[in-house]
């Protein structure tokens, strides 16, 4: 009697996924800050370009993979010690590719110590048609901490005339000061809502800017002017401004607001980070 070897059916293939992580801690030092801790794992890298004169220390978070597919994730943790000054940005737009099912995950945590000053100024995130993105930004502020943060989303590759017709987006901000919830905002978007006049009304891009500091009320009028009325105080010490429209118009409006508010509120030069300009 002959015997036969039983072979299990081949398992379904598992695609390789990117799991990038960056941890950066800084403490106050002459010139703004010095690195106390740095950890990074591919495809996420932290680079430190030379800052322009009168600028605080800067870092660029770089996704060396060039874009994110479904199932990929990036996790960034930034901690500033008391009195530290720092600017974080990205060298280019982040691209979220079409996904058949899994979601791309982006999580960022900012923890600002007492009297620390942080700018979180990544360039825009572009959602390809069919992209599925879940993104969250968690911010913790100690007494006297100052924050200027901005995020921009482009719905489809505007230069190619692409429209975001299918996919998924869940975008959430959460800000706490001294352990108390100050503001939480979440957007859950299905493409069929893009054209509705009570949602995005066909806009190709949107941006949110947050300015958090004890004396923020004195900058409300400037923010409202820059955002054409789309700005206001949503909590004590917290100002939020928003833009909605074509990608180029939104980027121009957001950039002008960053330059004006960093000069008036933070006492920094009225210019965008060098990587935005090169």
Helix (H, G, I), strand (E, B) or coil at 99: coil
Mean pLDDT along residues 38-55: 93
For residue 101, pLDDT over 90 is answered with: no
Q: 273 — phi, psi (to 5°)? A: -55, 150
Task: Give all strands (DSSP E) within the chain, no chain letters.
Answer: 19-27, 34-41, 44-47, 57-63, 73-80, 85-89, 94-96, 104-112, 117-121, 125-127, 132-141, 146-155, 168-177, 180-189, 205-212, 231-235, 238-245
| C-alpha span between 103 and 134 (Å, rounded) | 7
Q: Which residues, in sequence order, are bridge partners of residue 77?
A: 23, 109
Based on the number of CB atoms within 10 Å of its own CB, is 213 exposed (0-12), middle (13-18) or buried (19 or more)?
buried
Helix (H, G, I), strand (E, B) or coil at 220: helix
Mean pLDDT along residues 138-156: 97
- The answer to whether residues 172 and 105 touch, using CB atoms and an 8 Å cutoff, is no
Query: In the prediction, which pLDDT does 52 show?
Result: 86
Query: In the prediction, which pLDDT does 34 show?
Result: 95
| C-alpha span between 88 and 23 (Å, rounded) | 13
What does pTM read for this prediction? 0.91
Tokens representing 117 are 């000053």
For residue 86, pLDDT over 70 is answered with: yes
Q: 211 — phi, psi (to 5°)? A: -120, 120
CA angle 86, 91, 94 (to 5 degrees): 110
The share of the chain scoring above pLDDT 90, in percent, equals: 78
For residue 163, pLDDT over 70 is answered with: yes
Tokens representing 44 are 């996420």
- The answer to whether residues 123 and 156 touch, using CB atoms and an 8 Å cutoff, is no
For residue 192, pLDDT over 80 is answered with: no
CA-nearest of 239, 231, 274, 265 to 117 is 265
For residue 26, pLDDT over 80 is answered with: yes
- The answer to whether residues 223 and 233 touch, using CB atoms and an 8 Å cutoff, is no
For residue 224, pLDDT over 90 is answered with: yes
Confidence of residue 216 (pLDDT cuts 50, 70, 90): very high
């Amino acid at each position: 009697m002959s015997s036969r070897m039983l072979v299990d059916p081949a398992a379904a293939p598992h695609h390789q996924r990117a799991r990038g992580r960056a941890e950066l801690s800084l403490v106050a030092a002459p010139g703004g800050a010095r690195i106390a801790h740095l950890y990074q794992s591919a495809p996420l890298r932290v680079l430190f370009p030379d800052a322009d004169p009168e600028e605080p220390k800067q870092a660029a978070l770089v996704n060396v993979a060039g874009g994110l597919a479904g199932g990929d994730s990036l996790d960034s943790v930034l901690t500033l010690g008391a009195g530290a000054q720092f600017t974080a940005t990205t060298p280019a737009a982040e691209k979220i590719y079409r996904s058949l099912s899994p979601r791309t995950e982006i999580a960022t945590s900012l923890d600002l110590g007492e009297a620390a000053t942080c700018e979180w100024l990544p360039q825009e995130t572009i959602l390809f048609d069919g992209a599925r993105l879940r993104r969250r930004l968690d911010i913790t502020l100690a007494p006297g901490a100052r924050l200027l943060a901005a995020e921009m989303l482009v719905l489809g590759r505007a230069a190619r005339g692409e429209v975001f017709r299918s996919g998924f987006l869940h975008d959430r901000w959460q800000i706490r000061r001294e352990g108390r919830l100050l503001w939480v905002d979440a957007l859950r978007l299905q493409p069929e809502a893009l054209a509705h006049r009570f949602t995005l009304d066909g806009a190709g891009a949107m941006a949110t800017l947050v300015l958090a500091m004890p004396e923020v009320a004195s900058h409300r009028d400037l923010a409202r002017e820059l955002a054409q009325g789309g700005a206001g105080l949503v909590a004590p010490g917290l100002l939020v401004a928003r833009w909605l429209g074509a990608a180029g118009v939104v980027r121009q409006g957001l950039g002008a607001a960053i330059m004006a508010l960093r000069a008036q509120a933070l006492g920094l030069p009225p210019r965008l980070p060098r990587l935005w300009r090169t």
